[in-house]
Structure 1
Amino acid sequence: MTANPRVERVDGAGQAPALVGESPVWRAGEQALYWVDIPARKIVRLRLDSAERSEWLLPEKVACIAFDRRGTVLAGCETGLFAVALAEVAASDAPGGEPLKATARKLAAPTFPFIDMRFNDGRCDRQGRFWSGTMVQDMAAANPAGALYRFDERGVLSGPVVDGLITQNGLAWSPDGATMYLSDSHPLRRQIWAFDYDVESGEPRNRRVFADLNDHAGRPDGAAVDADGCYWICANDAGLLLRFTPQGKLDRRIAVPATKPAMCAFGGRELDTLFVTSIRPATGASEHDGHLFAVRPGVVGLLEPEYAGDL
């Protein structure tokens, strides 16, 4: 069950740690990894071959991203979903070395039931619908006002599709798209659910517990699915990556140097590298917390689906 492949810190990602590194997305056509730093309001890109690092500043916190076929970013932010255009200039070329400003246009927004809410984890299903959930930013409040929403290829925001969430996380789909995964990473929940997913209508049904992390280590944060259909979850607060089989059995544990791994994504030329973003704790942070890591776990991943609509 325990595996120990080498986990390396990706120094090309930058020497300054992220506050909350999230939503890694591999772009095969660019051979580049994108991710976000939520409170810093940044989207970051690292080209693996050249180690060229670029970053863009958004007008508000950005928690999750996907891309359409033209390279426009679909971003889940504080006040809604945005189409974001990233200028093709390296951040090092910006005046004073500051991040470039991204052009953001609001696409849709739910009616938030409480103040101080935002989107959190999000990605596209296999058919190119974008899904993301909301949360109350004050996690100490343990407010179950969060919900999961669907943004389809027509640009229609639907939901809540799943409600009663405290800290929505863990979205992923099986290789055939017929199973949807969702987690709640709040310390009072620590649950991962599976749903039967109608690929034609985009409706999840038959919700059931897939894995209860109260029986394991850490809290279930961001996730990825490999080509074998196994579900990789970042065990936040435990410094671990956990892999569950499609039957919900834990079969792999990989330790990472950061205490709070946040989300993982497969990338690299052969999709055989698992990239892991992390969060830097407010107190007691180590030299590795908040950095990006890479590991070759011996399996390959799947290409991240693009949004099917026009942004």
Structure 2
Amino acid sequence: MERISGVSCTVGESPTWSAADNAWFWVDIPARRVWRMDGASGATRYWDNAEMVACVAAKSGGGLIAGMETGLFSLTLDAEPSASAFKLAAPASGLGDGMRFNDGRCDRQGRFWAGTMFMDMSAARAVGQLYRYDAQRGISAPFVSELLTQNGTAFSPDGRTMYLSDSHPRRRMVWAFDYDIADGVPSNRRVFADMSSHTGRPDGAAVDADGCYWICANDGGCLLRFTPDGKLDRRLDVPMLKPSMCAFGGKDLDTLLVTSIVSGKPEDAEWGGAVLLLRPGVQGVAETPFGA
């Protein structure tokens, strides 16, 4: 386990590996910041933004696609300290006051999926929705509604299963869907893992080459791996209380980058907000850039 030096995030989220850039990217949501770490040198840098950036994915041809406060944006990371942001789309009904995008990821065909949430989780407003975006069709109508805290979006290695979680303390659920890879349409929603039977809340996730689903157990201080049939087969403890999302990357896709959130608890003071690199002994699946 290696801690990335000089990096601490209030709400670290959305790590992703870009093979084209040989680099990791992730965000610190309330800081409105996108981080980058070079895969060869380990050097880090960041870009500030006018809005909170909640999720990112690499774009084919360079740059990032991002889910932010008012919609989906294309980010160009050139000169520091600020990214150049171009708005691509927003839900037809808008996001509404107190809303923002949250978790997002591209499917295996390069379509971007991202969901929304009401930022004040204590209000427990089930107004979050899940959207698909591609350049040809634009942003979709919501495919899933009534989410409290949308999270955990991931796809099986063959792309035919989509995963989604709701990490709110009142929900704590992970679902699986059949996924039409031609049309980009999920169906047959079903419970994949009821996290009320496990430690923590289901936050961000990744899928390995064996098709197993790795979920960050927020408030549980660990990552949990579920087999494709929904059975827990491994627990990987981490030193921070609130791991938030994980992603496979590196040259051989055998490294797991894990972001975290500051909990404010004394026992978490040293590690809360840290970003870690782990070698879990399995390989991941290469992420498809947006628009590929």
Q: Same fold (TM over 0.5)?
A: yes
Q: 1:176 corresponds to which letter in structure 2?
A: D
Spell out, residue by residue over 1:47-83, the C-alpha distance to the aligned partner (whole angstroms, 9 max, x if none).
1321211100111000000121111211000000001
Deviation at 1:32, TM superposition (A): 1.3
Q: 1:50 corresponds to which letter in structure 2?
A: S
Q: Is contact 1:213-1:219 (8 Å) kept? A: yes
Could you tell which deviates more after superposition, 147-156 or 134-143? Answer: 147-156
Give, in whole Å, the separation in 1 of the partners of 2:179 and 2:128: 21
Could you tell which deviates more after superposition, 50-59 or 278-287? Answer: 278-287
The question of 1:36 aligning with 2:27 is answered yes
Aligned residue for 2:140, secondary structure, equals strand
Give, in whole Å, the separation in 2 of the partners of 1:174 and 1:181: 8
Aligned residue for 2:141, secondary structure, equals strand
Give, in whole Å, the separation in 2 of the partners of 1:72 and 1:211: 34
Q: Is contact 1:266-1:300 (8 Å) kept? A: yes
Q: Is contact 1:168-1:184 (8 Å) kept? A: yes
Spell out, residue by residue over 1:169-189, the C-alpha distance to the aligned partner (whole angstroms, 9 max, x if none).
000000000000000000000
The question of 1:100 aligning with 2:71 is answered no
Choose which of 95, 120, 128 in structure 2 pairs with 1:138: 120
Give, in whole Å, the separation in 2 of the partners of 1:65 and 1:276: 15
Map 1:96-175 onto structure 2 (within 5 A): 100-110=81-91, 111-112=93-94, 114-154=96-136, 156-175=138-157
1:9 aligned residue:
3
Q: 1:83 corresponds to which letter in structure 2?
A: S
1:293 aligned residue:
276
Aligned residue for 1:159, secondary structure, equals coil
Deviation at 1:155, TM superposition (A): 5.2
Q: 1:295 corresponds to which letter in structure 2?
A: L
Q: 2:28 corresponds to which letter in structure 1?
A: D
- Determine what percentage of the aligned residue pairs are the same residue: 58
Spell out, residue by residue over 1:188-238, the C-alpha distance to the aligned partner (whole angstroms, 9 max, x if none).
000000000011111100000000000000000000000010000000000
Q: 1:150 corresponds to which letter in structure 2?
A: R
Q: 2:85 corresponds to which letter in structure 1?
A: A
Q: Is contact 1:37-1:62 (8 Å) kept? A: yes
1:81 aligned residue:
72
2:200 aligned residue:
218
Deviation at 1:283, TM superposition (A): 4.4
Q: Is contact 2:70-2:95 (8 Å) kept? A: no
| TM-score relative to the length of structure 1 | 0.91
Q: Is contact 1:195-1:204 (8 Å) kept? A: yes
Q: 2:291 corresponds to which letter in structure 1?
A: A
Choose which of 42, 59, 69 in structure 1 pairs with 2:50: 59
2:260 aligned residue:
278
Give, in whole Å, the separation in 2 of the partners of 1:134 and 1:192: 16
Give, in whole Å, the separation in 1 of the partners of 2:264 and 2:237: 21
| TM-score relative to the length of structure 2 | 0.96
Q: 2:110 corresponds to which letter in structure 1?
A: G
Deviation at 1:34, TM superposition (A): 0.6
Give, in whole Å, the separation in 1 of the partners of 2:120 and 2:210: 37
Give, in whole Å, the separation in 2 of the partners of 1:197 and 1:55: 35
RMSD of aligned Cα (Å):
1.3
Deviation at 1:294, TM superposition (A): 1.4
Deviation at 1:10, TM superposition (A): 2.2
Give, in whole Å, the separation in 2 of the partners of 1:286 and 1:173: 34
Q: 1:60 corresponds to which letter in structure 2?
A: E
Give, in whole Å, the separation in 2 of the partners of 1:143 and 1:122: 20
1:95 aligned residue:
none
Give, in whole Å, the separation in 2 of the partners of 1:115 and 1:282: 26
Q: 2:74 corresponds to which letter in structure 1?
A: A
Q: Is contact 1:107-1:155 (8 Å) kept? A: no
2:287 aligned residue:
304
Q: Is contact 1:266-1:274 (8 Å) kept? A: yes
Give, in whole Å, the separation in 2 of the partners of 1:203 and 1:69: 22
The question of 1:200 aligning with 2:182 is answered yes
Number of aligned residue pairs: 290
Could you tell which deviates more after superposition, 248-257 or 265-274? Answer: 265-274
Give, in whole Å, the separation in 2 of the partners of 1:271 and 1:31: 11
The question of 1:180 aligning with 2:174 is answered no
Give, in whole Å, the separation in 2 of the partners of 1:167 and 1:118: 11
